[in-house]
Amino acid sequence: MSKEDSKSQDKAAPISGPQVIANFVKTLPPGPGVYRMLDAKGEVLYVGKARNLKKRVSNYTKSGGHTNRIAKMISLTTSMEFVTTRSETEALLLEANLIKKFRPRYNVLLRDDKSFPYILVRRDHPVPQILKHRGARSIKGDYYGPFASAGSVTRTLNVLQRGFLLRTCSDSTYESRTRPCLLYQIKRCSAPCTGEISVEAYNELVDQAEDFLKGKDRKIHDEMTRRMEAAAEALDFETAATYRDRVKALSHIHLQQGINPSTVSEADVIAAHAEGATTCVQVFFFRSGQNWGNRAYFPRHDKGHSTAEVLSAFVSQFYDNKPLPRQIILSEAIEDMDLMAEAFTLRSERKIEILVPQRGEKRQLVEHAIANAREALERRMAESATQRQLLEGVAEIFDMEAPPERIEVYDNSHIQGTNALGGMVVAGPEGFIKNQYRKFNIKDPDITPGDDYAMMHEVLTRRFSRLLKETASSESDERPANWPDLVLIDGGAGQLSVAEEVFNDLGLENVTLVSIAKGPDRDAGLEKFHMPGRAPFMIDPKSPVLYYLQRLRDEAHRFAIGSHRARRKKAMGTSPLDEIPGIGGKRKRALLNHFGSARAVSNAALADLEAVEGISKSMAERIYGHFRANT
């Protein structure tokens, strides 16, 4: 063999396995740190932490005693990277951060990492607003949560509206009100915007609502009951009825919450249940002694991982970017439990306790969480089996070589061409993949308003042009996971021809393209399907596959319509007066009260503008000039 052939062979098959790891062990320190194992493409296979890096990594150099999963991981390792830390606690925190960043193949991975919703009482306005909040805590105010879902927040907000009559409107809406809105009429708001209640009395209601969220619900309930009885004795039956409705609203939330433990004030109860290679981790949130909902997670892991290993990895990753409760109650003991508690205490700057109760109320909470995890896993496995059968049916109907792993569905939405956008939803073997949904604001100024074909052309061109660029920049020869196997278009033959044109222009292949045309009079079950090189056809109206395709189309329609409405609402909420420098809420309200509408303000004479209270001569000239600058 020539030297050139030898070099070529070495380049094609780099050295991997125990020998590579052994070379790194020679220079490793006997202290704490984090290590990464990389394959020939430079992708991270595994991230681990160690109290003693040298001792831990040297275990991988042994020829036997490994599980099949670990042996395979070692054989693929061609390089390693290390980060030394000052303590094992720092190593634990860094490990969780790197796992979430690199998402290695051989680690347990928490896939659903959506932030949790909170209830926010805004304190940047004299009259506080109460609303649902998700994301960074950049707004001044008091945050209560986390809640398990947006639905649980919405239900609690509804109760708080009925019980404490707090405003939920935006500041701009509040400033522009001249008379109470419908929420005041149906006793959901006390209407501080128009002076129906004083600011002092309103802030007393806010304080009561916050006491309720802090767990002082019995105190609030008793106080309202006392006032109701006092009003009834004074024959003020209207006031008594108001307090009666508020008491009923507060009592209702306890019925919705179900479990409200007496010995747990602030804790997350986390339980795991496994069947085969699938594990469900159920998390219940308890704050202020109240049950604020639960959520099920299904971490990705190899079948060789034990439930305790999955639970340990889950807890470490779950709290990487989330506020920590005072107690974390687990269904079983995990490795490094004390170390993890120490790390969480260090990060949150308050004592965090991790415990596994064996008896009492806390154990009952754990048993309840385990039962929920078991039921959620059974539902998941049943749904997965059904989903796989449906995808096999889709592949058969559309003549695909294999069941699709990724389906993308496209739809457009607009009203007479305004606020036009396209929506893309994604589905796979595990159902809808909502963090992959995308919306496309139509940007081409040459598109005739309402031209669905041109809109679809822009959406598909932007989507697949970007996908081709991402693929070209990747060093991997494999097709990326975000490439669709099947593209569904909501429309008929016209939309299909547009999609074909885009695919031909971009040179796209190996993607099945289908359009779904609604039946006569939009009847479900009479849809026609169009595919390139195939006559239009229908599917048996009783076929489960047809129902599945209808669900995909309806979800795309729902997403596009919802995104369009949100954009339209945002546009409707703006006022031409907001564009004028120096016009704040007070002046805008004065102008609207005087003229009745922004259009009337734009047509007003200079002398009429000067006559408005709070509008100086220079400000009147600025307003007058703003509306005539482009005329």
Give the domain CATH number at 362. 3.30.420
Residue 386 lies in a domain: no
**pLDDT for 516:** 92
Q: Indicate whether 2 pLDDT > 50.
A: no
**pLDDT for 562:** 84
Question: Of 237, 257, 277, which residue is a domain's last?
Answer: 257
- 468, containing H or E segment: helix 452-473
Q: The domain spanning residue 604 has which CATH number?
A: 1.10.150.20
220 in Cβ contact with 250 (< 8 Å) = yes
> Does 141 share its domain with 239?
yes
Residue 617 lies in a domain: yes
Query: Is pLDDT larger for residue 442 or for residue 270?
Result: 270
Which pLDDT tens digit goes with each residue over 240-294?
A: 877 777 777 666 655 545 556 767 888 999 999 998 788 999 999 998 778 888 8
**pLDDT for 335:** 87
> Does 87 share its domain with 177?
no
Which pLDDT tens digit goes with each residue over 187-216?
A: 889 999 999 999 999 998 898 888 888 877
> Does 213 share its domain with 336?
no
Q: How is 534-603 classified by DSSP, letter by letter?
A: EEEE---TT-HHHHHHHHHHHHHHHHHHHHHHHHHHHHHH--GGGGSTT--HHHHHHHHHHHSSHHHHHH
> Does 133 share its domain with 156?
yes
**pLDDT for 191:** 92
How high does pLDDT run on average in the chain?
85
Question: Of 41, 76, 102, which residue is a domain's last?
Answer: 102
For Cα atoms 439, 440, 441, give the angle at the middle one, nearest 5 degrees.
120
> Does 556 share its domain with 584?
no
**pLDDT for 5:** 47
Percentage of the chain modeled with pLDDT above 90: 35
Q: Indicate whether 7 pLDDT > 90.
A: no
Q: How is 163-194 classified by DSSP, letter by letter?
A: HH----S-HHHHHH-SS--HHHHTTS---GGG
**pLDDT for 354:** 95
Return all residues near 26 (Cβ < 8 A) that are at least 6 apart.
Answer: none
**pLDDT for 520:** 67
Strand partners, 132: 119
**pLDDT for 501:** 93
Which pLDDT tens digit goes with each residue over 582-616?
A: 888 788 888 888 887 777 888 888 888 888 888 88
Residue 147 lies in a domain: yes
DSSP strand pairing (486-490 vs 512-517)? parallel
Residue 3 lies in a domain: no
Q: The domain spanning residue 447 has which CATH number?
A: 3.30.420.340
> Secondary structure of 292-353 in the HEC alphabet?
EEEEEECCECCCCCCHHHHHHHHHHHHCCCCCCCCEEEECCCCCCHHHHHHHHHHHHCCCCE
Q: CB count, 10 Å around CB of 78?
A: 19
Q: Indicate whether 6 pLDDT > 50.
A: no
Q: CB count, 10 Å around CB of 96?
A: 23
Helices within 77-137 (DSSP H only): 88-102
Q: Indicate whether 379 pLDDT > 90.
A: no
Q: Indicate whether 178 pLDDT > 50.
A: yes
Q: CB count, 10 Å around CB of 397?
A: 18
> Does 501 share its domain with 551?
yes
**AA identity, residue 465:** S
> Does 134 share its domain with 190?
yes
> Does 278 share its domain with 342?
yes
> Does 285 share its domain with 168?
no
**pLDDT for 352:** 94
d(CA 104, CA 81): 14
Question: Of 234, 257, 280, which residue is a domain's last?
Answer: 257
- 238, containing H or E segment: helix 237-257
CA atoms within 13 A on the CB side of 547: 7
**pLDDT for 10:** 44
**pLDDT for 3:** 46
> Does 137 share its domain with 230?
yes
d(CA 426, CA 521): 27
Question: Using N-to-C axis directions, what is the helix angle for 237-257 and 150-164, rounded to 10°?
Answer: 160
Q: Indicate whether 346 pLDDT > 80.
A: yes
Residue 1 lies in a domain: no
> Does 215 share its domain with 342?
no
Q: Span 481-507, mean pLDDT?
A: 91
d(CA 303, CA 266): 34
d(CA 175, CA 177): 6
Return all residues near 223 (Cβ < 8 A) that are at least 6 apart.
Answer: 208
Percentage of the chain modeled with pLDDT above 70: 90
d(CA 609, CA 615): 7
Residue 82 lies in a domain: yes
Q: Indicate whether 417 pLDDT > 90.
A: no
Residue 20 lies in a domain: yes
Q: Which domain holds residue 62?
A: 13-102
**pLDDT for 314:** 93
> Does 360 share its domain with 486?
no
Residue 631 lies in a domain: no
Would you call 511 helix, strand, or coil by DSSP? coil
Q: Span 373-387, mean pLDDT?
A: 85
Q: The domain spanning residue 26 has which CATH number?
A: 3.40.1440.10
d(CA 443, CA 460): 13
Question: Residue 367's closest CA among 334, 337, 330, 335?
Answer: 330
Q: Indicate whether 130 pLDDT > 60.
A: yes
**AA identity, residue 493:** A
The per-type count for the chain, helices as H runs and strands as E runs, is: 21, 19
**pLDDT-derived band of residue 521, with 50, 70 and 90 as boundaries?**
low
**pLDDT-derived band of residue 580, with 50, 70 and 90 as boundaries?**
confident
Structural domain total, the chain: 5
**pLDDT for 629:** 67
Assigned token pair, 619:
């400000």
